[in-house]
Amino acid sequence: IDENTIADLRILNLSVLPVTYNDQFYKDVIQTHSVEMSCLAYLNGQAVGGITCRKEACSDSLFRVYIMTLSVLAPYRRLKIGSMLLDTIMNNIKHDCTLDHLCLHVQTTNEQALGFYGRNGFHIHSRLDGYY
């Protein structure tokens, strides 16, 4: 994702996610977070899915990849686009031996997202009351 495609990500996130991200979030995606930590999926010239991640320290020598957003337009769900986006990030980072794990937050009421992440190998580590 770069300056030419960041508007596509913003439109996608506004269409799909229950959280509205500010301008600084989108600036950070293209200016602060490394290129291999985000990507968009296009079908017939339209952005239908996107993922953004950031690298966070979890110890003195290890980092984790935090999934900030993962969105797929409703008509394109169940086509493995979300899984392909996750796979792209995992392939981009697989040679970085400082990375320990991937993580994210999901609303506990979002059964569809919980099922998706479960099918993709994630498990619930803990619950944070009042996060959303």
Q: What is the pLDDT of residue 85?
A: 98
Average pLDDT score over the chain = 93
CA neighbor of 29 nearest in space, from 21, 20, 38: 38
| pLDDT > 90: percent of the chain | 76
| Inter-residue contact 47 to 37 (CB < 8 Å) | no
* Exposure b/e, 48-81, CB count within 10 A at least 16 = b: bbbbbbbbeeeeeeebbbbbbbbbbbeeeeeeeb
DSSP assignment of 86-127 = HHHHHHHHTT-TTEEEEE----TT-HHHHHHHHHTT------
Going from the N-terminus, what domains does the chain have, and what CATH number goes with each? Answer: 6-119 (3.40.630.30)
Residues with catalytic roles: 66, 105
Distance (Å, whole) CA 76 – CA 102: 24
Match 């899984």 to its residue by tokens: 83
Q: What is the pLDDT of residue 2?
A: 93
Q: What is the pLDDT of residues 79-100, one digit of tens each?
A: 999 999 999 999 998 999 999 8
pLDDT, greater one: 4 or 127: 4
